[in-house]
Structure 1
């Protein structure tokens, strides 16, 4: 719905082995974490391993599969979430292409094929800034 605004420009951070970026909800209404079906995070054509991905919203961090039962954690359109994963990105003046793909369920729209699932993607080019990151569980 609003795919060109998923990635927050200028938010790529890295510690050299893990990178993260802020993302916005490409929908006009809040969704519970359980509606976040799949996430891919790619920098310069290299996709982060799915098992390394972490999702932070509301000051809580989750592995992507753990979001499936998070009906009490909401992602609001005005709030950024952070996606981070194992990606070797160096901070500095080099421009990096960042790609995010989100697959989300819209639970209150049911079609003949079941609950509506949207697939949105965004790409931005930006520099990475240094940050201290930890592999989150």
Structure 2
């Protein structure tokens, strides 16, 4: 199973992600800020990073730039996740999504309401073992 770093500061979203992914046996490590995420990245090896599109105390693009500029970490799959976006977030979504992709994010996922099965399927399709399984089938 995978080691997944979740960078999120909304407890309800953290709980939903944990319930969804731990069901499949994945190990989730939770960080509430960019600084603590960097500390975890320096201490542990991860298969995937899921970051909230917005954090109250941090600039999420700083974390993306940190990961993608480091030769030892740039291979790490980086996913932005937005759940139940407010009106202003929906308005800014296209710009944020485009910026994320330009800076190196692998995926940008939005759920109007959290869907555990859809979330797990989207995340597991991005894990290294899933990519190998897909390419072996081709």
TM over 0.5, shorter chain: no
The structure richer in helix per residue is 2
Using CA pairs below 8 Å that are at least 6 residues apart, which structure has the higher relative contact order? Answer: 1
Normalising by structure 2, what TM-score? 0.27
Provide TM-score, normalisation by structure 1. Answer: 0.27
Where is the strand percentage greater, Structure 1 or Structure 2? 1
